[in-house]
Amino acid sequence: MDLLKFIRNVPNFPIEGIQFKDITTLAKHPAAFKESNDIIINHYRGRGITKVAAIEARGYIWGGVIAYHLGAGFVLIRKPGKLPAELLSEEYQLEYGTDKIEMHVDAIEKGEKVLLFDDLLATGGTAKAACNLIEKAGGIVEGVVFVIELTGSLHGKQKLEGYDVLSLVEIPVEE
Ligand code: AMP
């Protein structure tokens, strides 16, 4: 199944010049949603993964399904101010300014194998910050998985050098 055809491109959202890759059109399609989950689950089954960590909000759509089928627990990585207990946090660079993500300090035990999921890899800043959070907690990043990887000038994969990266669909970014 060509998953690319289930991803809607929305020009100039949320701001002028951004080609927004909308995964709601993939998530709502029963067969495409199942296949996208199955590929990831089959790829990582048997690798000793005990936690799946995902980044809010779109990461949670797949993250919980993957965790359930791998027999792993689910870890929430969130934007600032949302998680209630003791936190680890990580700041990262945006095109203009910085952003921050947070995770509970007790979400991952030392030495646990963790699979990180997010819907889309662009510059890699968010995913790298999430890997740092997992490692700060003592986890081992066993894999980093995306539905969509924007390839070309953003060099997101370079930022994740050294990690096992899987993306289901590659989309060249328009200059
Ligand atoms: P980055 O940190 O640059 O790799 O950006 C990745 C995060 O921003 C992901 O959580 C995506 O959901 C979101 N994102 C970045 N660019 C796009 C895009 N063109 N379409 C949809 N989501 C995007």
Kindly write down the DSSP assignment for every residue of 10-71, as one continuous string.
EET-SSTT-EEEE-HHHHT-HHHHHHHHHHHHHHHTTS-EEEEEEETTTHHHHHHHHHHHHT
Give residue 175's pLDDT: 60
CATH architecture label of 46-172: 3-Layer(aba) Sandwich (3.40)
What is the pTM (predicted TM-score) of this model? Answer: 0.97
Q: For residue 118, which atom of ligand 1 is closest to its CA? A: 10
Residue 116's pLDDT is 99
Low-confidence ranges of the chain (pLDDT < 70): 175
Pocket mutation for ligand 1, best pick of 25, 120, 149, 170 (most atoms within 8 Å of C-beta):
120
Question: What pLDDT score was predicted for residue 19?
Answer: 95
Does the C-beta of 128 come closer than 6 Å to ligand 1?
A: no
